[in-house]
Amino acid sequence: MTLHTGLDVLSAAQRGGYGVGAFNTDNLETTLAIIDAAETTRSPVMLAITSGALSYSKNRIADIALIEARQASVPVAVHLDHGDSFEVCMWCIRHGFTSVMIDKSHEDEATNIRQTRRVVDAARAVGVSVEAEIGKLGGIDAAAEAGDGSAQLTTADEAVRFVEGAGCDTLAIAVGTAHGPNKGIGRPHIAIERIGEIRARVDAPLVMHGASSVPADVVERFNAAGGHLEGAVGIHDDDIRQAIGRGMCKVNVGTDLRIASSTAIREFVRSHPGEIDMRKILKPARAEMARVIEAKMVLLGSAGKG
């Protein structure tokens, strides 16, 4: 299989009525877990790399992801997650990424459209697809949240205006999710109807950020192994299923892999106090991440589609 653009992978998902996971990776172990899970479940997948992951790895994560993606036996897109400048998008495109996100959702609409359009014009010339965002999520977009502290859900009118003006290939919308392990209280409310309204008027495949489920049993294991996560809650599986049913295509997951891997590491080092071999310490983390990703691929309906 060759590398696929984000748009190729997501257009197929839109036609087929399933979702594709974009899993955040910062290192070799996470990348291998994602590719292994995709091959085990025969699922298309997106490897999502943030600017933070690039700087953490001195940019090496880009090469690791591209090598793994090119060798995979299922369709894989290598994607820049939350690119915050034209320059980082261009760096990723020159480096071989097949999808970039330019995130100017914290700017006013006209600036967001103008700066997204600039990336779209350059990316389109070399066949790379572009994701952009309109609306404001919680979590890392918190600084841009509305004055009353609530995130701003994307409206259908905004989405239509934005896609027409910016020309992005795929569109991230705010429908009640947030980044990180604290997505709300109880069962966070996801605006399922809003997804349907936007989908009815926008052809670009839709993207859901902040979609980790933060399972209570894993949080309990994390805390039992000496960790401390308070009030951690994520998105219910039924809400993800319904979101996909209404037209959501790309489902972003990072937190669930962080909780799974750090729980496995905590448990392993506790029960093996004399272990000094990093490979042995990270092996259960890699296996736990692969298990979580496989389950996610079944939930999204991408299993068997690769």
Which CA distances in Å does 125 have to 5, 11, 90, 218? Answer: 13, 19, 12, 44
User: Could you say whether residue 296 binds ligand 13P (CB under 6 A)?
Assistant: no
Catalytic residue among 8, 36, 81, 141: 81
Residue 202 found at the interface with ligand 13P (CB under 6 A)? no
CA 157 – CA 198 distance, rounded (Å):
8
- Contact between 210 and ligand 13P by CB under 6 A: the answer reads yes
Contact 259, 228 (CB under 8 A): no
Give the per-residue SS3 of 210-231: CCCCCCHHHHHHHHHCCCCCCC
Least separation in angstroms between CB 212 and ligand 13P: 3
Q: Is 179 in the site for ligand 13P (CB under 6 A)?
A: yes
Asked whether position 184 contacts ligand 13P by CB under 6 A, the answer is: no
**Contact with ligand 13P (CB under 6 A) among 98, 99, 112, 252:** 252
d(CA 303, CA 20): 9
Mind spelling out the 3-state secondary structure of 249-261? Answer: EEEEECHHHHHHH
Q: Which of 16, 96, 167, 180 binds ligand 13P (CB under 6 A)?
A: 180
> Which lies closer to ligand 13P via its Cβ, residue 4 or residue 179?
179
Task: List CB contacts of 187: < 8 A, sequence separation 6 or more.
Answer: 233, 236, 239
Question: In the complex with ligand 13P, which residue's Cβ is closer, 217 or 277?
Answer: 217
- Nearest to 152, CA basis, from 173, 171, 136: 136
Candidates 5, 14, 24, 154: give the one binding ligand 13P (CB under 6 A): 24
205 versus 254: smaller Cβ distance to ligand 13P: 254
- Minimum CB separation of residue 210 from ligand 13P in Å reads 4
261 belongs to the binding site for ligand 13P (CB under 6 A): no
Rounded Cα distance between 9 and 54, Å, is 23
3-state secondary structure of 77: strand
Contact 197, 242 (CB under 8 A): no
Q: Any catalytic annotation for residue 169?
A: no
Q: Which of 81, 131, 169, 267 binds ligand 13P (CB under 6 A)?
A: 81
> Does 248 sit near ligand 13P (CB under 6 A)?
no
Binding site for ligand 13P (CB under 6 A): 24, 81-82, 179-180, 209-212, 252-256
**Which residues carry out catalysis?**
81
